[in-house]
Amino acid sequence: MTNNPAGPVAIPAIIISGSPIEVDRYLVVTLWTGEEPKPSVRTVTEWVNILHERGDDFASHASACHYWLFEQMANKAGKPLTRPYPPT
Protein backbone atom coordinates (compact mmCIF):
# COMPACT_ATOMS: atom_id res chain seq x y z
CA MET A 1 0.00 0.00 0.00
CA THR A 2 1.14 3.52 -0.76
CA ASN A 3 0.19 6.25 1.69
CA ASN A 4 -1.50 9.37 0.41
CA PRO A 5 -3.19 12.24 2.28
CA ALA A 6 -6.51 11.08 0.81
CA GLY A 7 -5.91 7.57 2.14
CA PRO A 8 -3.95 4.52 1.06
CA VAL A 9 -4.07 3.23 -2.49
CA ALA A 10 -3.87 -0.53 -2.99
CA ILE A 11 -1.03 -1.29 -5.39
CA PRO A 12 -1.10 -4.77 -6.97
CA ALA A 13 2.04 -6.78 -6.33
CA ILE A 14 2.46 -7.28 -10.07
CA ILE A 15 3.00 -3.50 -10.52
CA ILE A 16 5.62 -3.53 -7.76
CA SER A 17 7.54 -6.69 -8.61
CA GLY A 18 6.19 -8.30 -11.80
CA SER A 19 8.30 -8.82 -14.90
CA PRO A 20 7.79 -6.47 -17.87
CA ILE A 21 5.70 -9.13 -19.65
CA GLU A 22 3.54 -9.72 -16.57
CA VAL A 23 2.98 -6.00 -16.06
CA ASP A 24 2.15 -5.61 -19.75
CA ARG A 25 -0.51 -8.32 -19.61
CA TYR A 26 -1.94 -6.91 -16.38
CA LEU A 27 -2.25 -3.40 -17.78
CA VAL A 28 -3.93 -4.58 -20.98
CA VAL A 29 -6.50 -6.63 -19.08
CA THR A 30 -7.09 -4.03 -16.39
CA LEU A 31 -7.12 -0.84 -18.42
CA TRP A 32 -8.48 -1.83 -21.82
CA THR A 33 -10.38 -5.14 -21.95
CA GLY A 34 -12.98 -4.48 -19.28
CA GLU A 35 -12.35 -7.91 -17.75
CA GLU A 36 -11.31 -6.31 -14.45
CA PRO A 37 -12.98 -3.50 -12.52
CA LYS A 38 -11.75 -0.17 -13.88
CA PRO A 39 -9.19 1.42 -11.53
CA SER A 40 -9.47 5.02 -10.40
CA VAL A 41 -7.42 7.82 -11.92
CA ARG A 42 -5.65 8.22 -8.58
CA THR A 43 -4.71 4.53 -8.54
CA VAL A 44 -3.29 4.59 -12.06
CA THR A 45 -1.35 7.76 -11.21
CA GLU A 46 0.30 5.82 -8.36
CA TRP A 47 1.10 3.00 -10.80
CA VAL A 48 2.84 5.52 -13.07
CA ASN A 49 5.04 6.68 -10.20
CA ILE A 50 6.01 3.13 -9.27
CA LEU A 51 6.67 2.09 -12.86
CA HIS A 52 8.91 5.13 -13.38
CA GLU A 53 10.86 4.14 -10.27
CA ARG A 54 11.35 0.63 -11.72
CA GLY A 55 13.46 2.03 -14.54
CA ASP A 56 13.79 1.81 -18.31
CA ASP A 57 12.29 -1.68 -18.59
CA PHE A 58 8.98 -0.21 -17.39
CA ALA A 59 9.03 3.16 -19.16
CA SER A 60 6.62 1.99 -21.86
CA HIS A 61 4.27 0.68 -19.18
CA ALA A 62 4.28 4.05 -17.43
CA SER A 63 3.59 5.68 -20.81
CA ALA A 64 0.64 3.35 -21.40
CA CYS A 65 -0.77 4.40 -18.03
CA HIS A 66 -0.29 8.07 -18.98
CA TYR A 67 -2.20 7.45 -22.20
CA TRP A 68 -5.03 5.77 -20.27
CA LEU A 69 -5.16 8.77 -17.93
CA PHE A 70 -5.31 11.08 -20.95
CA GLU A 71 -8.20 9.00 -22.36
CA GLN A 72 -10.08 9.31 -19.09
CA MET A 73 -9.74 13.10 -19.07
CA ALA A 74 -10.84 13.33 -22.72
CA ASN A 75 -13.88 11.16 -21.99
CA LYS A 76 -14.73 13.25 -18.93
CA ALA A 77 -14.56 16.39 -21.09
CA GLY A 78 -16.94 14.79 -23.61
CA LYS A 79 -14.25 14.44 -26.28
CA PRO A 80 -13.49 10.71 -26.49
CA LEU A 81 -10.32 9.74 -28.32
CA THR A 82 -11.82 6.64 -29.90
CA ARG A 83 -13.88 6.98 -33.04
CA PRO A 84 -16.14 4.42 -34.67
CA TYR A 85 -14.63 2.52 -37.56
CA PRO A 86 -15.34 2.86 -40.34
CA PRO A 87 -15.93 6.57 -39.88
CA THR A 88 -19.51 7.67 -40.43
From the CB of residue 14, how many other CB atoms can be counted at a distance below 10 Å?
A: 14
Confidence of residue 2 (pLDDT cuts 50, 70, 90): very low
pLDDT band at 85 (very low <50, low <70, confident <90, very high): low
Report residue 86's pLDDT band, with 50, 70 and 90 as the boundaries.
low
| pTM attached to this predicted model | 0.78
Say yes or no to pLDDT of 74 above 50: yes
pLDDT (0 to 100) of residue 32: 86
Cβ atoms 1, 46 nearer than 8 A? no
Average pLDDT of the chain, as a whole number:
86
Which pLDDT score, from 0 to 100, does residue 3 have? 46
